[in-house]
Structures are given as C-alpha cells and as structure tokens.
Amino acid sequence: MLTRKKMYADWKADDDVDVVSRLDMGLIYIIEIEKGKEERELSFSPDGVLLKNVLDTDDDDEILPVIVSDEIKKKIAELFPNSKSVVILEIDADDDDNETEIDILDDGIHKEVKLDAKGNWISTEFETTLPEAMEIMNTLNPAILAKLVAMAGQAGIDLTKPEIIRNTEVTVVDHVTKGMYFEVEIEIGDKDLEVIIDKDGNISFGK
C-alpha cells in the first residue's frame, strides 16, 4: 500500500494515480497533492518508498532512463561509502551555473547532490521532518537544537505540538564551505516563519 510522508498528512491528494514504467527502476507511482496554492508531485516505488518530491509545474515530461557516466558513479560512491543502496534518479546539468544536480535515493531517502564543472562536490541536501531534524541537530551540536528551541519559545512556538510538527518543513544542507546547516520553515496560520541555523547555532531569518 502506498503511503505519504507524515509531513503531508494534511494535504489533499488527487484521486488519480499515474503509473509509469521506467526501464532502470520498474514501475513508479506518481501522486499529485495540494495545500492551498501549492502543489507537489510525489513519486513512489511499488513498496511505498518515496522516490521524489518536487513542486508540480504542470510539465508533462516523460520519465526516461538515466544515463550515468562512470565519473558520476564513482563520485556518488565516494560521497556515500556507508550506504547500502544508492539509486541515481535524475541528472540535470545547469550550464548557467556550471553545476550538475544529481537526484539520488540514499537508503530510501531522496537527496540532491550538486557538483561543480570539474566534478567536485558542492553540497548535498534533503528534506526531513522536524523530529528527525532535531535528532540530527542534537547529534551534530546540542547547541543548535537548544538555540532553535529557545528562538521558537521566544516566538511563542512549542516545537513539540503535533500541529507545529505537521506544519514544519526542514531542509538539511551539507555544503563544502558552509558545513551543515538547516533551513526551517514553520507555518503558523497564514504566516510562515523561515529561519536558517548553521552548525554553530547561529540563526538568521529568511524572507
């Protein structure tokens, strides 16, 4: 049975499910979900693993097999040496920024890896739930979690409330020069609170 991430439990799902057969991955199930004006497209494997989560731009691009060079295969293997399974989902070369974006499935977690024009690693990022992000923060540096909780408390936000957990999205970014940092977006009513907290616990506010 297909399941969606808990963070999308309060989103409305389209009744239709698209089934795509991809040569290198077998069947893929695509579900469109919406919340207000935002629409997303979730792709699942037959056993319910979330393969991809992207904004729905109404582009009817056909899902095709990915042609992966030996250089990229080697680089991904170097970046994830302890992973049991790494599947390359998509490769997008951005000529304007001289970067290559690689969507992968790392032990069931969808991640985006960026490389520069020479194939050097720039960053890896992935979305996760608030509880999972808090565990990562506490392991990396307990001060990060303490400062996030303190900041939220000053704003009258209880990060342990189920409603807050459901309406919070966290992107974990590991960057070659900035190290690991967290982009946290908390939806409160019709307003969004966006903060970025780095590996040392420094907090900056988004737009």
Nearest Cα to 7, choosing from 101, 92, 117, 128?
A: 128
Per-residue pLDDT tens over the stretch 49-75: 777 776 665 554 444 456 788 899 999
Q: What is the reported pLDDT for 184? A: 94
Per-residue pLDDT tens over the stretch 144-193: 999 999 988 888 889 989 989 888 999 999 999 999 999 999 988 777 88
Domain definitions of the chain by residue range:
6-55, 70-125, 129-205
The letter for the amino acid at 10 is D
Euclidean distance between CA atoms 13 and 5, whole angstroms: 12
Per-residue pLDDT tens over the stretch 73-132: 999 999 999 998 888 888 888 877 889 999 888 887 889 999 999 999 999 999 999 999
| pTM for this entry | 0.71
Higher pLDDT, 139 or 28: 139
Q: Does the pLDDT value for residue 20 go beyond 70?
A: no
For range 26-35, the mean pLDDT: 76
